[in-house]
Amino acid sequence: MPLQGEYEPSTSGWVRDQVEAYERSNGVEANTLLNTGLAIIIVTTRGNRSGKLRKTPLMRVEHEGQYALVASQGGAPSHPVWYFNLKADPEAATIQDGPEPFDVSVRETTGTERAEWWERAVAAFPPYAAYQTKTERLIPLLVTTRRG
């Protein structure tokens, strides 16, 4: 059962618009990053302070039914807010990859597993490699497991 609660749209106009178009069309529209043709998914989390639902378009990095969630924030010096939401409650996550959202659990990867997922992530979205060189932090990479 997808997360329940009050949804608070992003303060970023393009994020708000993309999420709305994606959900309205059941993933038929707004399913790529701007004009790149590279696929995205919508990740819903629960705000770790507000408790409100937050929706974020992320690059689609899927392998054998699992998804990588790459906390790159374009190579910024800090992690994105959604990363902290998932660290606070790794069971409060939903992915929409097409018409129907589904619940997932998330965990952060390390070592060899992270390296394998990082390769998949860079293959799906090559700018991730450049993002890592822009920041001193190791970009977190979380992996999902479908629940229920």
Q: What is the CATH number of the domain that holds 55?
A: 2.30.110.10
- Does the structure show a pLDDT above 90 at 34? no
Residue 60 in domain:
yes
Give the domain extent around 139: 13-146
Residue 7 in domain:
no
pLDDT of res. 6: 96
| 120 C-beta neighbours (distance < 10 Å), count | 16
- Give how many domains the chain has, as a whole number: 1
pLDDT of res. 79: 98
- Does the structure show a pLDDT above 80 at 2? no
Cα–Cα nearest to 19, from 104, 91, 82, 77? 82
With the CA atoms of 49, 34, 71 and 139 taken in that order, what torsion angle do they form, in degrees rounded to the nearest 10?
Answer: -150
Residue 8 in domain:
no
> Percentage of the chain surpassing pLDDT 70?
99
Residue 123 in domain:
yes
Residue 1 in domain:
no
Residue 2 in domain:
no
- Residue partners of 98: CB distance under 8 A and separation at least 6: 26, 27
* H or E element that contains 122: helix 111-124
pLDDT of res. 3: 87
pLDDT of res. 148: 80
Residue 3 in domain:
no
| Section 67-92 average pLDDT | 97
